[in-house]
Amino acid sequence: LFSLLDILLDLSHQLAVATQLPLRGIFQGTKLLAAIIIGILMISLLMGQSPIFLISGLGAMAAVLMLVFKDPILGLVAGIQLSANDMLHLGDWLEMPKYGADGAVIDIGLTTVKVRNWDNTITTIPTYALVSDSFKNWRGMSESGGRRIKRSLNIDTTSIRFLSEADLTSLQRSALLQPYLHDKTLEIARYNQQVQSDLSSPLNGRRMTNLGTLRAYLQAYLTQHPRIRKDMTLMVRQLAPTPDGLPIEIYAFTNTVVWAEYEAIQADIFDHTFAVIEQFGLRIHQTPTGTDVRAIAHHLTAAPSRNLTAD
């Protein structure tokens, strides 16, 4: 009987539907149930008693049996729930920090689920833990065909300012910015004409800032990027200011879910972003390094000697 079940399990692995069901756990549960029934029948034959009589006598041992077979019973129930709710398939990327699991599911058994982590280590998780605890399944991301980029860069707030006429003339040479600058210039001109403010003061009227123009540029850059999904959320936004500066976050989805390709696309986007920041008169906030500290110390020690020389 067990050999027949093993053959059926091997044959089922050739079917596409097999990857969507925890068949191994179900077959193991069937084996356990069959072993119990066969054991009861053999004991009843040896004792010369009816199997029904023997089963009725097991009522007093129910608590002991429940304790002995607790994990298999919980695993069988969990396997059925995982299958019925379509919660986990073989090959799914599962993330469960509580058990240190972050990788692909390679086996769904009666009592355990095996996960091959990205460093090729194997993590074993109790099957019932996948029902009683929470875990993250990345299958939805894989099936969607797009992987999210959600990363920010910190702008030095002391570099944020209004754009001058020279800045506007320089930025007009950017093909990506021309539509934005044209529309924004007309919008601001109409507003300032309506309110009739004294524009000699920067406190009056509206003006374009270098930070707002950078956001518009990045939005246009991502929109025309060939590896960014246009049918998914795409935006460049400000986050709350922090002691490390003003975060500008890029939120978009690549058109691939392959890890290496995704990382390359993300790196290319931020390489370009860091390179063009200076064109907007902005600076990236950066914690002082050892070189910066040494330069400051050298400047402070050199200042007294210059003063003495001048005297």
Whether 268 and 174 map to the same domain: the answer is yes
Instruction: Yes or no: say if 220 and 177 are a contact pair by the CB < 8 Å rule.
Output: yes
310 in a structural domain: no
220 in a structural domain: yes
User: What is the rounded CA–CA span in Å between residue 107 and residue 25?
Assistant: 9
Whether 214 and 118 map to the same domain: the answer is no
Residue 116: strand, helix, or coil: strand
295 in a structural domain: no
Whether 98 and 172 map to the same domain: the answer is no
Whether 132 and 155 map to the same domain: the answer is no
Whether the pTM exceeds 0.75: the reply is no
Mind listing the pLDDT tens digit of every residue in the chain (311 residues)?
556 656 665 666 555 555 555 566 666 667 667 777 777 777 777 777 776 666 666 665 666 666 767 777 787 788 778 877 888 888 899 999 999 999 999 988 778 899 999 999 999 999 889 988 999 999 999 889 999 999 999 999 999 999 999 999 999 999 999 999 999 999 999 998 888 877 778 888 899 999 999 999 999 999 999 999 999 999 999 999 999 999 999 999 999 999 999 999 999 999 999 999 999 999 999 887 777 677 777 777 776 655 555 55
Q: Residue 157: which of 219, 249, 241, 277 has the closest Cα?
A: 241
293 in a structural domain: no
Question: Which residues have C-beta within 8 Å of that of residue 265, sequence separation ≥ 6?
Answer: 149, 227, 228, 254, 256
252 in a structural domain: yes
297 in a structural domain: no
34 in a structural domain: yes
Whether 113 and 179 map to the same domain: the answer is no
Alpha helices (H) along 145-209: 165-171, 178-195
Tally of domains within the chain: 2
Full domain range(s) for residue 103: 2-139
Whether 52 and 177 map to the same domain: the answer is no
